[in-house]
Amino acid sequence: AKAAAPAAPSKDAAAAAPEGPELVTLRGPAAAVAKNMNASLELPTATSVRAVPVKLLFDNRIVINNHLKRARGGKISFTHLIGYAMVQAIKAMPTMNYAFGEKDGKPTLVKPAHVNLGLAIDLVKPNGDRQLVVAAIKKAETLNFFEFWQAYEDIVRRARDGKLTMDDFSGVTVSLTNPGGLGTVHSVPRLMPGQSVIMGVGSMDYPAEFQGTSQDTLNKLGISKVMTLTSTYDHRVIQGAASGEFLRQVANLLLGENGFYDEIFKALRIPYEPVRWLKDIDASHDDDVTKAARVFELIHSYRVRGHVMADTDPLEYQQRKHPDLDITEHGLTLWDLEREFAVGGFAGKSLMKLRDILGVLRDSYCRTTGIEFMHIQDPKQRKWIQDRIERSHTKPEREEQLRILRRLNAAEAFETFLQTKYVGQKRFSLEGGE
């Protein structure tokens, strides 16, 4: 037993054990990031800052994602919209895409042919370590929003799968980073050589003085969440006035100017108009009472004319609208979307937010089926129809979806049999009934 026992470490071995920090050589992307950070110290940069209300950004994103949920699927993030606004602002101000370079030892202004938007992607390794990579969406100014969205998702997907190539990292002219997703309020990122500007996006939250206020009070007062945008630029080729104008352009686009959201809705084939930016309407107590009546007028308008906005043509996209279905025509604005109104049993509820009311109305009357029934004289018959169509959409269970698929397959197989067995015979086809 004594022979099997391990020998105690000697004093010399203990003295030889290394002490101090562990040294790990950086390799691959981590080494490239460190090298780029050192190179960035040579750039004389400055930073402009602008606060932007994000109420309209929130509202239109909700409309977009609600439509996508019922249509092609997918989800739009805030960064998709902000990145696209950044590209459009640079497209309107090409000087923000210019970089500094040297030719034959002389300072040179570099004018790239395209806007190559670099996306700062934070990758989390299985061991918890983080790695930052910046990959580019090439020729971003030539893409509509749908194409930009798909290119963005492709870059992020390949980054997480470790399938990015060297071409994805090269040629970046401007960059976008979004530390706001981690709660950072304000960021001044580093600018890489060869780039002209990097825009940082801060977190979206209510101003500090309102963060202890109840949500109901915030809705009544019309207080919007705010995000901070920063523009860090190469001061050798871009001046502060241009950077400030660039941020103003981005802010105006996010507030719906120059048809920004209209273009996005068109690219995604959303058949109705986006939410518009308007100032809140001052309302006294009497106005609040009459506002509830205007909400009932809006509901009635959708019942009477909602079918004119239905997307009933699968071959040709058209953005449909009607004045009677516009909330602004009823004295309502985007600030009322989060406010509750008495609805007297509409969709089975007594109180609903205007946003939820519009969601039910659009799902009921403005999708791929046009419904017109208010000409019916019998109120019981009208009520019977309303109860069955004015309800929130519930996605069928998986088993029900599979049952529908099996019945569709059976119907298609029967159709194929008939047209093969009885060629040229007159029959009433199921074609289109799917």
Bridge partners (DSSP) listed for residue 227: 52
pLDDT tens, position by position, 75-110: 999 999 999 999 999 999 999 999 998 888 888 999
Other Cβ atoms less than 10 A from the Cβ of 38: the count is 9
Residue 226 is assigned to a structural domain of this protein: yes
- Regarding predicted confidence, which is higher, 307 or 8? 307
Proportion of the chain above pLDDT 90, given as a percent: 55
In a domain, 11, yes or no: no
What pLDDT was estimated at residue 182? 80
pLDDT score of 2: 53
Q: Is 24 inside a domain boundary? A: no
CATH number of the domain residue 245 falls in:
3.30.559.10
User: Is there a single domain that holds both residue 413 and residue 434?
Assistant: yes
Q: Same domain, yes or no, for 307 and 427? A: no
pLDDT number for residue 11: 56
User: pLDDT tier at 29 (50, 70, 90 boundaries)?
Assistant: low
* Residue 107 and residue 215 in one domain: yes
Residue-by-residue DSSP string for 24-82? ----HHHHHHHHHHHHHTTS-EEEEEEEEE-HHHHHHHHHHHHHHHHTT-----HHHHH
Tokens found for residue 172:
């970046």
Q: What is the pLDDT of residue 275?
A: 94
Question: How many Cβ atoms sit within 10 Å of the Cβ of residue 342?
Answer: 14
Domain harbouring 385, CATH code: 1.10.287.1150
Rounded-to-integer distance, Cα 317 and Cα 221, Å: 38
- The boundaries of the domain holding residue 427 are 402-434
Q: Name the pTM for this structure.
A: 0.82
Task: Answer yes or no: is 275 within a domain.
Answer: no
> Which among 186, 235, 307, 322 is annotated as catalytic?
235
Tokens 């920063």 belong to 230
Contact 246, 234 (CB under 8 A): no
Q: Based on the domain organization, do 56 and 144 belong to the same domain?
A: yes
Greatest Cα-to-Cα distance within the chain, rounded to the nearest angstrom: 105
The DSSP element (H or E) to which 156 belongs, if any, is helix 145-160
Instruction: Report d(CA 319, CA 403) in Å as an integer.
Output: 34
- Do 337 and 416 reside in the same domain of the chain? no
Q: Both 146 and 61 in a single domain?
A: yes
Tokens for 136, please give them: 């580019």
Residues 375 and 246 in one domain: no
Same domain, 115 and 223: yes
In a domain, 31, yes or no: no
Judged against a pLDDT cut of 80, whether residue 38 lies above it is answered with no
Asked whether residue 280 is assigned to any structural domain, the reply reads no
Residues 113 and 60 in one domain: yes
Chain centre distance of CA 232? 23
Does any domain span residue 27? no
Same-domain status, 77 and 168: yes
> Quick one: 254 and 310 in the same domain?
no
DSSP 124: E
For the chain, what is the domain count?
3
Residue 13, Cβ neighbours under 10 Å: how many? 9
In whole angstroms, give the CA distance from residue 128 to residue 33: 18
Whole-angstrom Cα distance, residue 94 to residue 112? Answer: 9
Is the pLDDT assigned to residue 283 strictly greater than 80? no
Residues 327 and 340: their CA atoms lie apart, in Å, by 15
Question: Residue 19: inside a domain, yes or no?
Answer: no
Q: What per-residue confidence (pLDDT) applies to 249?
A: 97
Q: Are residues 247 and 126 in the same domain?
A: yes
Phi-psi region of 290 (alpha: psi -120 to 50; beta: other; left: phi over 0): alpha
375 is catalytic: no
pLDDT at site 192 = 85
User: Looking at the DSSP assignment, which residues form a beta bridge with residue 115?
Assistant: none
What's the pLDDT score for residue 26?
Answer: 77
pLDDT at 40 over 80: no
In the 8-state DSSP scheme, what is residue 205?
Answer: B
